[in-house]
Chain A
Amino acid sequence: MPGLEDLYREIILDHYRTPRNRGELESPPAIETRGHNPLCGDEITLYLLVDGEGDDAIVSDVKIGGQGCSISQSSASMMTQAVIGKPVSQAYALIRRFKTMMGIEGYDEQPGDADVAMGDLEALQGVVKFPVRIKCAVLGWNTLAEALDRAGV
């Protein structure tokens, strides 16, 4: 059986204890989306600001509100660090890469996806050994995907 050290890596606990980019953005102009995990009742609120149009669109800011477990909170925290300042197309690529890493099917990698750096997010790889927790890890990502879709750039 996988041990707890596979799940609770130090970088994860660090993001849990000190979450990055927590807070709110004025909405509008920010896009506000909510996600929840019906299993445990966790709720997350995500605020997204996008600058530019089309291929030039950039994720200029993301803030996270709500409550959750160490996995959902740290995953969302690392996600904000990974996507802020990146082109929207790369944010989508990260979502595909992350969901694929979580063993979720139907997110076939597209050309160029492999070039998008996962950085600290690799630490969440251990979650896949604890299938019940995968929903926690992807909560923030689903909420981001919905916000990006709504931005529609």
Chain B
Amino acid sequence: MAFDLDAVRKEFPILSRQIDGSPLVYLDSGNTSQKPRRVIDAMTDFLENSYAPINRSSYRLAGEATEAFEAGRRAVARLVNASSPDEIIFTKNATESMNLIARSWGGANLGEGDVVLLTHMEHHANIVPWQMLRDERGIEIRWVPLTADGQLDLTDLDRLLDGAKVFSFTAMSNVLGTIPPVAKLCAAAHDAGALAVVDACQYVPHNATDVQAWGADLVAFSSHKMCGPSGIGMLWGRLELLDAMPPFLGGGNMIDTVTLDGYTTAPVPAKFEAGTPPIVEAVGLRAAVEFLEDLDMSDIRQHEMDLTRYALDTLNGRFGDEITIYGPDDVAVRGGVLSFAFRDLHPHDVSQVLDERNVCVRAGHHCAKPLMQVLGVQSTTRASFYLYNGTDDVDALADALAGATDIFGF
């Protein structure tokens, strides 16, 4: 079925909201996505009719709630082609998933002088947990640089990977939109004897994802960027790898038994899910996954490629030298994320003027300050698209940018 933008938009109640009498132009989905009616309804229905503790109590209502929670796990496993739902760990967010990886796997396997390879286009969530390990135990961090058009420069990859124990990289940059060759990078990591960790937070919401085809070891991603609720993140890992990793947080649910002398851990996924998990959020997440599956991830990706092409052509065509859009021009290797500099205007001022016309963008460093350094800027303005955006949104962005010139007059 062809992608029907009007029908998609009708699923999102917030898109019918008007501010000051004009419609919302939401171009901040790289930050967080809006929620379709069926996600909102699924959570409301669950809260009104089925809410109870999970994995603890034996009455029927608790069984019903546990089943609804686990259905969320099964949906996520299906979406990313995990070989078992047990390979899906629920966390608080993708950042917690990355911290889990660094603390649990890194804690057990990395010592002084061990090398972790990252790239210059990582989010802070894939930088700081490793820097914390470096400060604590003296691991070495290396960086894959970027080409002039914002792709990974893989010229020296073999040398950088030589002796590395981990290669952790984003599957889609939240600033540049760059989509690197994930399967190739995973294979290169394995050839060097390194663990392949993928930050897929920006990738999974916009692309058909197959963690097995990637050949990855651990993959972090998030619900709130893919039409699901905030408060729940995901970690996928190969089962035998997760089995071998020590627990992250201790407490209820993650144990097999506890005595005055110590504890033994539950099998995965419970081993990594200490305490009451995000129950309602897992129910909403399931609805989000089913919503995306009904639309077809390949069609969503095609829609966003077309839209990104239109946006690059429109903004470059209208503003020429006045705009600098960072990242690759080829939409086959870029997602719907456009970070740009506009004239000499500060991104904060650009976003303020856009907000006057209800155009919602993010101004700042996008939790990627090292990348800002590499780009030679302090911050950028970022428009990021999702399935509910269309060419009319791009036109509204361009019109609002033209208006910014009038206000600052230079």
Tell me whether B369 and A41 are in contact (CB under 8 A).
yes
Give how many B residues have a beta carbon under 8 Å from the other chain's beta carbons. 20
Contacts of B356 in A (CB 8 A): 3-4
Tell me whether A40 and B365 are in contact (CB under 8 A).
yes
Tell me whether A70 and B349 are in contact (CB under 8 A).
yes
Question: CA A13 – CA B356 in complex, angstroms?
Answer: 18
Among B20, B364, B378: residue with most chain A CB under 10 A: B378
Question: CA A71 – CA B410 in complex, angstroms?
Answer: 16
- Secondary structure type dominating chain A contacts: mixed
Contacts of A16 in B (CB 8 A): 408
Mark each residue of chain A from 31 to 73: 1 if its CB lies under 8 Å from any CB of chain B, else 0: 0000000011111000000000000000000000001111100
Contacts of B229 in A (CB 8 A): none
Tell me whether B379 and A42 are in contact (CB under 8 A).
yes
Mark each residue of chain A from 69 to 97: 1 if its CB lies under 8 Å from any CB of chain B, else 0: 11100000000000000000000000000
Contacts of B369 in A (CB 8 A): 41
Contacts of A3 in B (CB 8 A): 356
Q: Which single residue of chain B is at the shortest CB-CB distance from A70? A: B349
Tell me whether A41 and B352 are in contact (CB under 8 A).
no
Mark each residue of chain B from 250 to 294: 1 if its CB lies under 8 Å from any CB of chain A, else 0: 000000000000000000000000000000000000000000000
Task: Tell me the A residues contacting B by CB distance below 8 Å.
Answer: 1, 3-4, 7-8, 13, 16-17, 39-43, 67-71, 130, 133, 136
Task: Tell me the B residues contacting A by CB distance below 8 Å.
Answer: 19-20, 346-349, 352-353, 356, 363-365, 369, 372, 378-379, 407-410
Q: 30 A-B residue contacts at CB 8 Å?
A: A1-B19, A3-B356, A4-B352, A4-B407, A7-B352, A8-B407, A8-B408, A16-B408, A17-B410, A39-B364, A40-B347, A40-B348, A40-B363, A41-B364, A41-B365, A41-B379, A42-B378, A42-B379, A67-B346, A67-B378, A69-B346, A69-B347, A69-B349, A70-B348, A70-B349, A70-B408, A71-B348, A71-B349, A130-B352, A133-B352
